[in-house]
Structure 1
Amino acid sequence: MKKICLLLLTISPFFGYAQNLKLSPEAEIHVLTCGPYQGELYSAFGHSAIRVKDPGKGYDILYNYGVFDFDQPNFYLNFTRGHLYYKLGVTDYRRFRDYYIYYNRYIREQVLNLSVEQKQELFDFLQWNALPENQYYLYDYFYDNCATRVRDALVKTFGDKVSFDGSYVETKHTIRSLTDIYLKQQPWGDLGIDICLGLPMDVEATPYMYMFLPDYIEQGFNHATIVRDGKNVPLVKETLITYESKPEADQASAITPFIVFVLLLAGGTFLTYLGFTRDKRFVWVDCFMFSVVGVLGWLLLFLWAGTDHRAAANNLNLLWAVPLHFPVALMLLKRNKSLFLKNYFKIMAILSLLLLAAWAFLPQQLHYSLIPLVMLLGLRSFYIQRYLSKNEGA
């Protein structure tokens, strides 16, 4: 909470509603790229912003598209449904800079190679965009965020005078694999994203799509040109290193999802062995496990069908997080076991086996740490149906 408060304190209304401010010929416009911070999931990807620096007029203004307001109506409901509104915040540059230095996040500034008139055009757009009626936008993690808005500010201002040459991108990453790169120190966050987001994450990203990440905004601008005074010139004149972050120890937890699920598989295998040798059911264990997985399945189904999170659609994690597990699992507590239960868990055992066999060939990249969990679900499903068949009259 302290970090959130510090960030909110950087937001200043001083320049927010200003209009028709004019720049002097000494003015510069910088695109800032700030390094990641592993203390929070949302900050692991870095940040982008625009600085308007004018020594002649005494301006040093920071335009930040990464601001959201907890006090907006129905904040949590909107967040859940994918209707979260971010806004363009305006602050004093030094406050912004000092905040990122405090958290040891590097700051690099690209000085844009614009004419005097073009600087004023971009500044006019930013002033207009910061007005109360224009500053809000519907946030999308991958297609409309604090990084893409920086790029789009130039595109909206200069149109086809700005050209991005994506030939420097030689990799063939999907959006999912790009996020994986930034979440190596946050394995639980990486797992959560991989579970909640579906097939749209596995589309091969174009160079333009790479720019949902601040690092690729920086690289994209380094490989872009703009028409200035009738000539095609590099968009970036020079890059300034404002702050170089100090090396830090890896903050990743030693307790990874894979380790946890392997331990669960080992425990489940042991219980299954006891079940076979001593004819025990461990019904509460199965009821709890399948209920939790079923509730997760309903959540994934809701994210797909009940929200506007485009990346949550067509989620193949529903092949193992089957929503029907809850409430079917509760039926295991009944004394009289039905034919339905026996057939249900027989189908689930077969489905788990087929899923494991097809894992590497699915169009959606499922997180590797889920393999032991799916093995456990399949093993317990097999045991349940076998026990029910053996004790059908019980």
Structure 2
Amino acid sequence: MRQTIALLLALLLLAIGPAHASVANAPGANLEVALVTYGPGDVYWERFGHDAIELRDTVSGEAVNFNYGVFDFNEKNFFLNFARGRMHYLMDAESTGPEEAWYVQVGRSITRQQLALTPTQAAALRDFLFWNLRPENAGYNYDYYIDNCTTRVRDALDKALGGILKVRLAAEPGGMTYREQTDRLMSGQSWLMLLLDLGLGPYADQPMTAWSESFLPYELQANLRGIRVPDGHGGTQPLVQDEQLLSPNRLQAPPAQAPDLRLPLGAAGLILAIALALTARRWRTGFALLGTLYLVAAGLVGLLLLALWTLTSHHSAWANANLLLFSPLAFLLLPALWRTRRGLAPTRFVNGVLMLQLLAALATVLLHLLPGTVQQNQPWILFALPVWLALAWSLRQLAPPPSP
């Protein structure tokens, strides 16, 4: 009878054991840790890609993806907070199957890298992720470059590994700057790429390490391949034990390098300058209309750059030298364009404003030529300088000669 009862108890434990086992309470020896990387999507906020930490209980088979990329368009003042650089993001967890099925459906690639964490490290990572998942800990202030869904994943893995990632990756140079990576990834939407490039200041051009460049999912994925960790026997082993492409990319992939904007923007600036010069001689109304479009655009851009610097937390847009090329001063020149239709000379005030704007543009060129210059805004210099010179020359040519 006792043997029968013991057998029944054992069978009962075997039956209910897997039902109670889960990622949340599995011993570290049963936890498998992986970095799951998703390719860029078509929508602008998906262009940087995405990733998650997968924890899998090898006994029960349960697998959960932890990611830091949740936001809510319906949040109160969402767009105002976004404009001010105060974006609120959340951490979330979801079963691996449904999450990956969605990425497969929309055609984004999925790559899984199994990582060599010890049972102690895996359990510590699990405990940290569940702590981070609590409502009081899940939110954070998002920053595209230094605190995003990938840097949070990177930092969690680094914490579990005892700081090995930061030590190794901070000692290696990065391949691109924030500006180059942004232009590369946003090149599929040219108008948005140009707006972002115009709005980025010197912060975006600072040299990066492999650690800081791991703000991108693909860069973190690539950088982990070169990391080695202790194997527990006095030697080392690759951190990435296995890498599998679970689903191929079916969308247009971003280019490997950032586009060079100097030629297209320089050509656009030269064409606009020639058009201003020709219309000033042959069609004064056309000159006034064309000049008005440029001055209004330049003034609005100047106001936007000034607001980004003084009123927002977008530190990547602060101290932008493009503010010298596109200034709110442009609005003060608008009356002079229409005065030329009647043969009226620019006023002394307008001449002063125009001279100040030309000096600002010249200062931008000189600043760029100085040793140690950080901001790489040559494309915008090549665009704006010929236009300002053409405007100044045309206004002087259209002014009537001084009376004897």
TM range (shorter): 0.7 to 0.9
Given residue 366 of structure 1, which amino acid in structure 2 is its aligned partner?
N
Q: 1:342 to 1:158 in 2, by over 3 A?
A: same
* 2:391 pairs with one of 377, 380, 383: 380
Taking the TM superposition and a 5 Å limit, the aligned residue runs for 1:1-394 are 21-23=25-27, 25-37=29-41, 39-160=42-163, 164-166=167-169, 173-227=176-230, 229=232, 231=234, 232-246=236-250, 248=252, 262=267, 265-266=270-271, 268-276=273-281, 282-330=287-335, 337-349=346-358, 351-352=360-361, 355=364, 363-366=374-377, 368=379, 371-388=382-399, 390=400
How far the C-alpha of 1:167 sits from its partner, in A, is: 8.7
Structure 2: distance between partners of 1:341 and 1:257: 31
Normalising by the residue count of structure 1, what TM-score does the alignment of the two structures yield?
A: 0.81
**Once the two structures are superposed, what CA deviation does each residue of 1:291-310 show, in whole Å capped at 9, x if it has no partner?**
22111111111111111111
Q: 1:166 to 1:329 in 2, by over 3 A?
A: same
Q: Is the 8 A contact 2:231 2:237 kept in 1?
A: yes
Q: 1:364 to 1:264 in 2, by over 3 A?
A: closer
Given residue 306 of structure 2, which amino acid in structure 1 is its aligned partner?
L
How far the C-alpha of 1:275 sits from its partner, in A, is: 2.0
Structure 1: distance between partners of 2:198 and 2:352: 27
Normalising by the residue count of structure 2, what TM-score does the alignment of the two structures yield?
A: 0.79
Give identity over the alignment, percent.
28
How far the C-alpha of 1:279 sits from its partner, in A, is: 6.4
Structure 1: distance between partners of 2:229 and 2:121: 10
How far the C-alpha of 1:189 sits from its partner, in A, is: 2.6
Q: Which structure has greater helix proportion?
A: 2
RMSD value, Cα: 3.3
Bigger Cα displacement from structure 2, 321-330 vs 140-149: 321-330
Computing the radius of gyration from Cα coordinates, the structure with the larger value is 2
**Once the two structures are superposed, what CA deviation does each residue of 1:19-77 show, in whole Å capped at 9, x if it has no partner?**
9533574431110122122x223222221211112242342111111111123232111
Q: Is the 8 A contact 1:34 1:106 kept in 2?
A: yes
Number of the residue aligned with 2:5? none
List alignment gaps of at least 5 residues for structure 2. 1-21, 256-260
List alignment gaps of at least 5 residues for structure 1. 1-17
Given residue 357 of structure 2, which amino acid in structure 1 is its aligned partner?
M
Q: Is the 8 A contact 1:187 1:257 kept in 2?
A: no
Given residue 198 of structure 1, which amino acid in structure 2 is its aligned partner?
G
Q: 1:206 to 1:162 in 2, by over 3 A?
A: closer
- Residue 159 of structure 1 aligns to a residue whose secondary structure is coil
Given residue 33 of structure 1, which amino acid in structure 2 is its aligned partner?
T
- Residue 65 of structure 1 aligns to a residue whose secondary structure is strand
Bigger Cα displacement from structure 2, 40-49 vs 269-278: 269-278
Number of the residue aligned with 1:9? none
